[in-house]
Chain A
């Protein structure tokens, strides 16, 4: 026993040897099983159903066909929906990056120590208030009689801007949802950049913009990529914001999936939509990842 305990790599020499099943297996399997049954299984089922046929009146007919995917590709309406989803997501992500970087940089390099944690809390709290509450809040602000309209009327300089139920309002709403994610991700990478590198560049005569462009940006690229992908994925799949702020005439992919699966009960087509959404997101993020990794790899290894 003593010699076994001395050589065993684990802190639990007895149980590691006594039982045939390794303890790690017993500890991890309930959670693993749960995720397999509640996530992977249903996803596999849904993928199978996306190959079935929907016959009005008969619900779903067993088949092995790509017609749901073909229908999507041939239908102008859904192409439009995907296109809207893509540009809204792309624009929101870009805005998040532009607005998030200065905040992350300020947090890491300049904010007085007491303010660092306070600012962080102020940025993260709204993130966890829930999409329903945050969307309601934007409705209060952007609505016809909302704070923004009232404020603009009060100045008397602007004609009241109609923002509610416009794509612009959706972008505003999405940016406010995703900005905290972007800031937190960028902060993480900026914290890992040695401040001396920036000082060194400055002492060699670089202006602040030059320091950002030649030193900070290349080194922060992995974080910028991670934050961008995260925001892009989040907005590609946004539900509450497009439905409530975009209004009934505004269509994005995630609400369409809900519409088809839960309301129209067209499971095959709804499932196909879900997988197209995931596939498009996956392909775009992977390509972006590869393009940027190629430049980054040489010195990151």
Chain B
């Protein structure tokens, strides 16, 4: 178990820069998610930590030791691959034993540790199966057992859940989390799924075009995105472009003046007000105008089971999406296209982000 420090690492291919001066300091026992769209450099970063990709510039330190030039075999890291990369010609037990064999651990100890590792992932009864005889979730567990049995300093996981169906993904999320907690192992995992990152990680690092865009706890990143990109990536569908006016107001490009939280952030240049659809109230009757309330007409209502998404349009042409609970779950009565409504939100419901 060790802390991991990336000192301004760079990966350059012939023409392109895949990872551009990324610095990160991860404390021992933390579970960190590298989050971003494909091509943002998150997997390359992970593979540089694992030693599969040469570092062009910068250093990777693990537990104070510089491992930048070490081959993967000498880094003592556990790596979980997106497709699990189980050896198809070896049984589950042989797969898990492989790393111990390479470390010349005695036969008896190997057997004991393999048994223990398989117990931990509840697969002891499948020890003699071949990987192709296992389900996706079981394969994932074998891969975890194989990576953990060598008692690595760091666990690296590349999109560990992307090959599983929705329900299994939910289970594995919890399992990975619990496994990581009980072992207290420093873990870095890569994902493109914000939901996954938020629910599993202690800390979320959002990457974009080879750089770190934002780095913080899940709720920091979710509640106070620091850029237009992060806001969008975190599922904020309403990004209203405009200009700040005074301390507490914001002039949307379509003309509306809205009240925003007072703390100014990056007040220079174009801004956008990021407003989550869940934070917008929709009322049928056009009652008295409170703070931040606009007359609008429903253009389109999309039923999504537990919620309904309303796309509304103000007379000035501003389009917003509001998400309300479905009536069955205590939400307001469902409305249809063409209904005149009033939409409103609290002044601290959104944040201002630079464009």
| Direct A–B contact present (CB less than 8 angstroms) | yes
Question: How far does the Cβ of A117 sit from chain B's closest Cβ, in whole Å?
Answer: 17
Partner of B73, one of A196, A197, A203: A203
A168–B50 Cα distance when bound, in Å, is 47
B150 and A219 within 8 A (CB) = no
A215–B86 Cα distance when bound, in Å, is 10
Question: How far does the Cβ of B126 sit from chain A's closest Cβ, in whole Å?
Answer: 15
Task: Output the residue of B71, B82, B83, B85 with the most chain A CB within 10 A.
Answer: B85
Q: B83: nearest residue on chain A (CB-CB)?
A: A196
> Which residues of B138-159 have CB atoms within 8 Å of chain A's CB atoms?
146-147, 150
- Chain B residues contacting A203 (CB-CB under 8 Å) are 50-52, 72-73, 75, 77-79, 147
Interface residues on A, range: 10 to 19
B102 and A200 within 8 A (CB) = no
A286–B9 Cα distance when bound, in Å, is 54
Asked whether any CB of chain B lies closer than 8 Å to the CB of A25, the reply is no
A205 and B79 within 8 A (CB) = no
Question: How far does the Cβ of A292 sit from chain B's closest Cβ, in whole Å?
Answer: 13
A201 and B98 within 8 A (CB) = yes
B132 and A206 within 8 A (CB) = no
- Chain A residues contacting B51 (CB-CB under 8 Å) are 202-203
A205 and B87 within 8 A (CB) = no
Asked whether any CB of chain B lies closer than 8 Å to the CB of A204, the reply is yes
Partner of B98, one of A204, A207, A298: A204
Asked whether any CB of chain A lies closer than 8 Å to the CB of B88, the reply is yes
B102 and A196 within 8 A (CB) = no
- Chain A residues contacting B83 (CB-CB under 8 Å) are 194, 196
B81 and A200 within 8 A (CB) = yes
Asked whether any CB of chain A lies closer than 8 Å to the CB of B89, the reply is yes
Asked whether any CB of chain A lies closer than 8 Å to the CB of B115, the reply is no
B79 and A200 within 8 A (CB) = yes
A210 and B132 within 8 A (CB) = no
Asked whether any CB of chain B lies closer than 8 Å to the CB of A218, the reply is yes
A183–B135 Cα distance when bound, in Å, is 36
B85 and A196 within 8 A (CB) = yes
Question: How far does the Cβ of B97 sit from chain A's closest Cβ, in whole Å?
Answer: 10
B89 and A205 within 8 A (CB) = no
A194–B132 Cα distance when bound, in Å, is 14
- Chain B residues contacting A218 (CB-CB under 8 Å) are 89
A202–B102 Cα distance when bound, in Å, is 10
Asked whether any CB of chain B lies closer than 8 Å to the CB of A199, the reply is yes
Question: How far does the Cβ of A8 sit from chain B's closest Cβ, in whole Å?
Answer: 36
A215 and B87 within 8 A (CB) = yes
B81 and A204 within 8 A (CB) = no
- Chain A residues contacting B78 (CB-CB under 8 Å) are 203
> Which residues of A213-247 have CB atoms within 8 Å of chain B's CB atoms?
214-215, 218-219
Per-residue B-contact encoding for A285-301, CB less than 8 Å = 1, 0 else: 00000000000001100
A205 and B150 within 8 A (CB) = yes
B85 and A205 within 8 A (CB) = no
A-B contact count (CB 8 A): 69
Asked whether any CB of chain A lies closer than 8 Å to the CB of B130, the reply is yes
- Chain A residues contacting B98 (CB-CB under 8 Å) are 201, 204, 206, 214
Question: How far does the Cβ of B48 sit from chain A's closest Cβ, in whole Å?
Answer: 13
A204 and B150 within 8 A (CB) = yes
- Chain A residues contacting B73 (CB-CB under 8 Å) are 202-207
Q: A301: nearest residue on chain B (CB-CB)?
A: B132
A210 and B81 within 8 A (CB) = no
- Chain A residues contacting B102 (CB-CB under 8 Å) are 204-207, 210
- Chain A residues contacting B86 (CB-CB under 8 Å) are 200
> Which residues of A226-275 have CB atoms within 8 Å of chain B's CB atoms?
none
Q: B99: nearest residue on chain A (CB-CB)?
A: A204
A194–B85 Cα distance when bound, in Å, is 8
A215–B78 Cα distance when bound, in Å, is 18
Q: B103: nearest residue on chain A (CB-CB)?
A: A205
Question: How far does the Cβ of B180 sit from chain A's closest Cβ, in whole Å?
Answer: 18
A201–B97 Cα distance when bound, in Å, is 11
> Which residues of B19-55 have CB atoms within 8 Å of chain A's CB atoms?
50-52
- Chain A residues contacting B88 (CB-CB under 8 Å) are 197, 219, 299
A204–B88 Cα distance when bound, in Å, is 16
- Chain A residues contacting B146 (CB-CB under 8 Å) are 200, 204
Known: A215-B87, A299-B89, A299-B132. A199 touches B103 (CB 8 A): no
> Which residues of A179-212 have CB atoms within 8 Å of chain B's CB atoms?
194, 196-197, 199-207, 210
- Chain B residues contacting A196 (CB-CB under 8 Å) are 81-83, 85
A200–B50 Cα distance when bound, in Å, is 10
A200 and B130 within 8 A (CB) = no
A197 and B77 within 8 A (CB) = no
A201–B74 Cα distance when bound, in Å, is 12
> Which residues of B261-320 have CB atoms within 8 Å of chain A's CB atoms?
none
Task: Output the residue of B75, B89, B103, B130 with the most chain A CB within 10 A.
Answer: B89
A residues whose Cβ falls under 8 Å from a Cβ of B: 194, 196-197, 199-207, 210, 214-215, 218-219, 298-299
Known A202-B72, A203-B78, A299-B132; 20 more pairs at CB < 8 Å: A196-B81, A196-B83, A196-B85, A197-B85, A197-B87, A199-B72, A199-B85, A200-B85, A201-B98, A202-B52, A202-B71, A203-B75, A204-B73, A204-B98, A204-B150, A205-B73, A205-B103, A206-B102, A214-B98, A299-B89
Would you mind naming 27 contact pairs between A and B with Cβ atoms under 8 Å apart? A194-B83, A196-B81, A196-B83, A197-B85, A197-B87, A199-B50, A199-B52, A200-B79, A200-B81, A200-B85, A201-B98, A202-B51, A202-B72, A202-B73, A203-B51, A203-B73, A203-B77, A204-B73, A204-B146, A204-B150, A205-B103, A206-B98, A218-B89, A219-B88, A298-B130, A299-B89, A299-B132
